[in-house]
Every structure is written in C-alpha cells, then in structure tokens.
Amino acid sequence: MPKSDPGKIYRSAVLEILKKNEWSVAELAERAGVKANSIYNLIHGRAKALSSQNTKKLADAADVPMNFFMGEAPMNIHPGHLRATKPLDTVRVRGDVEAGAWRARLERDPAEQKAVPMPDAQRWGCGVYGLEVRGLSMDLNFKPGAILYCVPIHEYLGELKSGSKVICQRKNGTGDHEQTVKELVIEPSGRTWLWPRSTQPEHQAPIAVPWPLPSEADKYFVDEHEVAVIAVVVASYENQLP
C-alpha cells in the first residue's frame, strides 16, 4: 500500500478550508494572522507545511482541530464563516499586456479602467481583474483587443500545468516594467518555460523559469531582467481565436 504524502494531505486541508468557507488566501491569512505568501507557497508546492504555531493559527481561524491537517478529522462548516457577497458580473480592466512595451507604471489611471462583463465572476473571488491584449506577441491565442480575466497567482487555487496561460512581468535596470501573457510549458524532464505563442519571429523566444514559478518576492533574473509570474488567466472576452 503506497505511503500517504503528508505535504499533499496538509495542502488539501488548506484548500478545503478555503473552498468550504468561501475564503480567499488573503482572507484566511488575515483571519489567522499569518503571511499570505506562506499560504501561497504551501498551495503551489514551495512548502510542505507551515510551522506548528502557524498551523494552530489556521486551525483556530477555521475552527478545526489540529489533526485536520493530517487528514484525521472531518471539517464542520459554521454558517457564520460564510460571507455574504454580491454577485460580481463585471471586472475592471486595470492595464495591458504588450511585449516590448516598457512602462514606469503598468496600472491604468482609474478613469481609464473600463468595466467589462464576466459571467460567473464571483467564483474567482474579489481579486479577479482584466488586462487588455495589445500587439501580436500571443496572437496565436489572443487577438489585439481581447480582454484577459486574471486571478492573482497567490489567490489561484487551481492546478498550474502545461497549457495554462499566465501573466509575466519583467523589470529592467531602470525600474520600468513589461507585462505580457505567456503559455506555461512543463517538459517531462521538469524544465519549465514561459512561451509566447506568436506568429511574429521577434516574439517567439521562450523564457526559462524555475518550478515552482518565481513570484515578485523571489527576485529571479533572466538576462538582467527581474522576472515574476503574477497572475493566471482564467478566461478571456472577445476575439479569442478558436
């Protein structure tokens, strides 16, 4: 009989807390008094478990026994934990994705952040936002003008795998930023790439990255540019090619 993986059991317990209480990672972190990055690292495989002190904080916040994180106790949901939320049917387009466009500020001015419809937006939580595609760096998947619905990677509870579309930011030596959409490719060997699916030769070079993916806190550099994966594309609006 195969031996159970304690890390997977712990991760599943945290995901169950988030799902059944309808909490985001940020909300659980705030309720428990732990860092959101600690929970994010756990969910995405950077850590197998939190310290016993922080596990106790999670248990208290979710009102579960400590052995729940070892798969030895069921979870009871208390109605008071569930938040009443207004259905979200639009999201704000906060910025753009465009290869080669280096900007001091990526976020649009509030007056320029148009609202676009997103069916079933509530399932992704309050952190979901939009980005508009500009240029041809991913034109095999998205035409210019398409809106990408994005979930911050520390809030994303799904599985990241080959074929996932992610938002990549690069920062140069002068502090300017470039924001693009890439396809995640994980080879059988474990090598991981951020791949632009483009018809344009100047946009066809992939970026090699470590696994788990680098976050803004990791200070990961490629060719003197700081690289971070900040969000996952969960849907798109208009103009996506079949």
Domains in the chain and their CATH numbers?
6-81 (1.10.260.40), 90-237 (2.10.109.10)
Q: Are strands 165-171 and 192-195 parallel, antiparallel or unpaired?
A: unpaired
Structure confidence at residue 1 (pLDDT) = 34
- Decide if pLDDT at 86 tops 50: no
Q: What is residue 105's three-state secondary structure?
A: coil
Task: Please say whether the beta carbons of 79 and 21 come within 8 A.
Answer: no
Q: What is residue 92's three-state secondary structure?
A: strand
The percentage of residues in the chain with a pLDDT greater than 90, rounded to a whole number, is 50
Nearest Cα residue to 182 out of 204, 152, 151:
204
* Average pLDDT over every residue of 40-60: 87
What's the pLDDT tens digit per position in 139-181? 999 999 999 999 988 888 888 999 999 999 999 999 999 999 9
Structure confidence at residue 239 (pLDDT) = 46
How would residue 85 be classed by pLDDT, with cut points 50, 70 and 90?
very low
The percentage of residues in the chain with a pLDDT greater than 70, rounded to a whole number, is 88
- Decide if pLDDT at 2 tops 50: no
How would residue 113 be classed by pLDDT, with cut points 50, 70 and 90?
very high
Query: What is the pTM for the complete model shown?
Result: 0.72
Mean pLDDT of the chain: 85
